Amino acid sequence: MTQNIQTIDVPIAEPFAEPLVPPSQTPYVERPHGPVGRSEDRIDGPEKVLGTALYGADLFYGRADCFVSVVRSEPAHAEIVAVDPSAALKMPGVLGVYTHRDVRGTNRQGLIVRDHPVLAESRVLFRGDAIAVVVATSERTAEDARRAVRVDYRPLPVVADMDAALAPDAPRLHPDGNIMGGKRIRKGDADAALAAADVIVSESFCTQTVDHAFLDLEAGIAHYDGRTLTIHVSGQWVHEERRLIALALGLPLESVRIICPATGGAFGGREDISIQIYLGIAAIQHPGKTVALRYSREESMRARHKRHAMRIYYTVGATRDGLLTAAKITVFSDEGAYRSTGPAVCRKAASHATGPYRIPNVSVDVYGVFTNNNPTGAMRGFGACQMAIAYEGMMDRLAARLGIDRLEVRRRNLIRSGDAVTTGQRIPIATAVECLDAAVRRLRQCPPPRPTDPHKSRTRPPALPPHLRRGVGYSVICFGLGYGDGFPDASRARVGVSDQGRIQVFTGGVEYGQGLITMAAQVAAEELGVSVRETDVVWADTEQTFESGSSSATRQTYFTGNAIRLAASELKEQLLDIASKLLGVHPHELELRDGCVVGRFDPARSVPLAEVVAQGRARGYSLEATALFKPRTVCEDFDTGQSPRAFITYLFGSHIAEVLVDIETGEVRVDRYIACHDVGRAINPQSVAGQMAGGATQGIGMALMEEVVNRDGRIANPNFTDYILPTFRDIPPVECVILENDDPGGPFGARGIGEPPLIAATPAVLSAIADAIGVHTHTTPCTPQRVWELLHPDEAAVPPDARFSLAPPHARLER
């Protein structure tokens, strides 16, 4: 008998949407009938597959006149005694060596507090602090000259970790001491509730330093013509970079222009200023020349900020039935040498400390601690992802302690629509339970065929060999979108129409792979009744676009999507007004559809958009519109951390991981992966699934392998040989389940997707490992060694009780 093997052409990434509320019952938003909701091809797809998209380093060819390199600190903590460039200046081809003395502005950088000298003045605080900028006629000469610049240091004691920083006799890294600041939440009476709890579970967690590891290394060019400094470098917030560069280098704001080239990933790693400012320093010194700079991987890793390593002390109290009554949480966060985004990360960690769980009594203290490690700053899911590891770890522990099913404990405590999160903000549409249930339903279905091998049987072997254990893990998370916390958060967009009738969208947001410009085109095209192919997007050029805020915080779809929709809607009014004169129909009775203006009630009355545009031009219409989307949030109270609206809206998601663990070696393989997110509305389902799969991949990397190893202020693994990322073999097909429950304030009901997939992934994998080996994890990443050590605690390199030698929280926050 021959068996026919059938190839089932079900693409795994094809998400299936499950609206929880029938569309007819969602009162909030108009149903899209155009490109919104469709998996339109990315508008930057062709140039990316052809290799013609120009990234920063691709701009060198034919343009670069001279090359820049940066002299960096070798010690992690030292006073600078002298900088002697004379040997470098004698080298043929060296055009100049510049120090802070040559910087005409404030010489300060920093996203929240400008506390970081662009070029070090008297002291260096981490191994990688920039000291001088070299300009030469070739890249190799610039490199040689960099090495020839002599810097004399007076070494200072290195504060290598938070224990050292908090020691009583620790050297002070900043004038106010080594506690950068922090955040607290006081809700109810956590101590009293813990005292009264039926059961108390305590654990401490240790998360690692993570590198963004975007593939597209920092690279770009700059040119100064004596009036305008033009910089082509990838960033995440070009308008802020302009402000910062103008201030630091002493130029008027309007003299700085930033243009973002194609950008190969960012993940928060391009939020702090990087090579832009060194290029600026060099360009100003060499007017008329195009200067170029690119980092090696090692320099990129040495220079750039990182994800905060955190130590989290977590105690929960619950009833016998598993209802949470209290949580007391203390977090120490390694800020590294400068603040960067640290204050926001502390705040986010506090507001997300208990995730999607309903806990009446909560006490949270988060402290940022300065060390001589790399500054730590923004990275996808910052603050929230570390806390998710902790709160999901606690749910598994509570379930184990009470002998209740892990899913059941979660369901009993997850917030429902109308409940409040820990900051006191009520969430009108909370779909945490729905996400979990949808993910579990998916788990019960047979996994789809793997694209890597559609013929391979996915039935499990009946028995595993004795050294392998299977485990399944769950996570449920929530995430507040946008900056939140009362911070002014806004996006401005402009939409116009060209003489040829093409729609032009202008946004200051950065396309770094997440699909921003395709989203922008889809929203504008939807509103204006055209196709995406008739829409162009101009982005991230400070001269051509208005400010849209940073491309971070999962905020661009919500903020810029809304701004574009509003601007397009304004433009639409003009177009309908013009058409109404042509057709003799009241504008309110007209609509834009398929590139024409047609009568709503009399489709026979119709005029092509191009003709409307021509008539509009003739009649003096501007044919463009701008709009600002600026919703308000309310700053959290200093003493209690409470706010009626800390974040503009919340996102929910749930992941499930199945792993196989080799209990003899500690090796872990993720065997099946399910990601479910409620995104409000998927403007482009394929893009949403791409963000889910990409975020999950980074989260799995954080769970299993990624770790920047800091040793005495030195990164031991500043390269991809030892800073390892997940490969094809490490990630099973990510099965995406997209839930769509319209957000009343989002464009067409959309919320966002950027960060939550990473946040949910790490705890799901950790939970699966714990399920497989019967021991809970507490330290990330769970490398084979760490998994093995969980099973052999006596053999651990770091004894378990020495993991946290920090004194109990003694630091006090001052107003």
Partner 1 sequence: MFSQPTTLEEALDVRARCGPDLLPIAGGTDIVVAMNRGQLRPAGFLDLTHVRGLDAVRHENGRYECGGAATHATLSRLPVEALAEAALSVGGPAIRNRGTIGGNLVTASPAGDGCVALLALDADVELAHASRGRRVVPLREYFLGYRKTALLADELITRVRFPKDWITAWYKIGKRGSVNISVVCCAIGRSPTGLFHIALGSVAATPIRAPHAEEIVNRDGLTDGAIAEAADAVRRDISPIDDHRASAKYRAAMSVTLVARLLRRIRDRVKEPAR
Partner 2 sequence: MTPEADEMVAVELAINGKPTHLVVRPDETLLFVLRDSIGLTGTKGACLEGECGSCTLLLNGAPVNSCLVLAAQVHGGRVETIEGLAHGDKLHVLQRKFIESGAAQCGYCTPGLIMAAKALLDETPNPDEETFFRGMEGNICRCTGYTSICEAIRGAAREWSR
Give, as ranges, the residues between 114 and 143 that touch partner 2 (CB under 8 A). Answer: 138, 140-141
Site string for partner 2, 419-458 (x = CB under 8 A): -------------------------------xxxxxxx--
E-strand spans in 486-623?
A: 491-497, 503-507, 535-539, 590-593, 596-599, 606-608
- 267 binding partner (options partner 1, partner 2, none; Cβ < 5 to 8 Å by kind): partner 2
Q: Closest Cα partner for 201 from 675, 776, 736, 747?
A: 776
Q: Decide: residue 540, CB within 10 A, 0-12 exposed, 13-18 middle, 19+ buried.
A: buried
Helix (H) or strand (E) holding 546: none
By CB under 8 A, tell whether 724 contacts partner 1: yes
Q: Closest Cα partner for 799 from 784, 813, 789, 811?
A: 789
- 42 binding partner (options partner 2, partner 1, none; Cβ < 5 to 8 Å by kind): partner 2
**Helices 384-402 and 406-413, packing angle to 10 deg:** 120
Scanning 161-169, 175-183, 211-219, 464-472 for contacts with partner 2 by CB under 8 A, the matching segment is: 211-219
By CB under 8 A, tell whether 667 contacts partner 1: yes
Q: Closest Cα partner for 473 from 233, 766, 140?
A: 766
d(CA 454, CA 451): 6
Q: Could you give the angle at the alpha carbon of 748 between the alpha carbons of 742 and 752, nearest 5°?
A: 65
Q: Decide: residue 631, CB within 10 A, 0-12 exposed, 13-18 middle, 19+ buried.
A: middle
DSSP letter, residue 367: E
Site string for partner 2, 41-70 (x = CB under 8 A): xx-xxxxxxxxxxxx-xx-xxx--------
E-strand spans in 50-105?
A: 66-72, 78-84, 94-98
Q: Of 198 and 722, which CB lies nearer to partner 1 in the complex structure? A: 722
By CB under 8 A, tell whether 202 contacts partner 1: no
d(CA 153, CA 338): 20
Q: Of 425 and 698, which CB lies nearer to partner 2 in the complex structure? A: 698
Whether the Cβ atoms of residue 550 and residue 482 lie closer than 8 Å to each other: no
- 659 binding partner (options partner 1, partner 2, none; Cβ < 5 to 8 Å by kind): none
By CB under 8 A, tell whether 709 contacts partner 1: yes
By CB under 8 A, tell whether 784 contacts partner 1: yes
Q: Of 44 and 299, which CB lies nearer to partner 1 in the complex structure? A: 299
Site string for partner 1, 102-141 (x = CB under 8 A): ----------------------------------------
Q: Of 666 and 695, which CB lies nearer to partner 2 in the complex structure? A: 695
Site string for partner 2, 678-717 (x = CB under 8 A): --------xx-xx-xxxxxxx-------------------
- Least CB distance to partner 1 at residue 631 (A): 42
Longest dimension (CA), the chain: 86
Q: Of 355 and 732, which CB lies nearer to partner 2 in the complex structure? A: 732
DSSP letter, residue 88: H
Q: Could you give the angle at the alpha carbon of 398 between the alpha carbons of 392 and 401, nearest 5°?
A: 145
Amino acid occupying residue 395? M
By CB under 8 A, tell whether 58 contacts partner 1: no
Handedness of CA 277, 279, 284, 288 (dihedral sign): negative
User: Hey, which residues between 141 and 160 contact partner 2 (CB under 8 A)?
Assistant: 141, 144
Which residues are bridge partners to 625 per DSSP? Answer: 495
Q: Of 295 and 370, which CB lies nearer to partner 2 in the complex structure? A: 295
Site string for partner 1, 457-476 (x = CB under 8 A): ----------x---------
SS3 state at 759? helix
Handedness of CA 101, 104, 108, 111 (dihedral sign): negative
By CB under 8 A, tell whether 671 contacts partner 1: no
By CB under 8 A, tell whether 552 contacts partner 2: no
- Least CB distance to partner 2 at residue 670 (A): 12
Half-sphere exposure (CA, 13 Å, Cβ side) for 212? 28
- Least CB distance to partner 1 at residue 232 (A): 24
- 711 binding partner (options partner 1, partner 2, none; Cβ < 5 to 8 Å by kind): partner 1
d(CA 407, CA 388): 16
Site string for partner 1, 275-314 (x = CB under 8 A): ---------------------x-x----------------
Whether the Cβ atoms of residue 688 and residue 750 lie closer than 8 Å to each other: no
By CB under 8 A, tell whether 452 contacts partner 1: no
User: Hey, which residues between 715 and 734 contact partner 2 (CB under 8 A)?
Assistant: 719-721, 725-729, 731, 733-734
Helix (H) or strand (E) holding 200: strand 199-206
- Least CB distance to partner 2 at residue 688 (A): 10
Binding site for partner 1 (CB under 8 A): 143, 296, 298, 467, 664-665, 667, 669, 704-705, 709, 711, 716-717, 719, 721-722, 724, 726-730, 783-785, 788-789, 792, 795-797
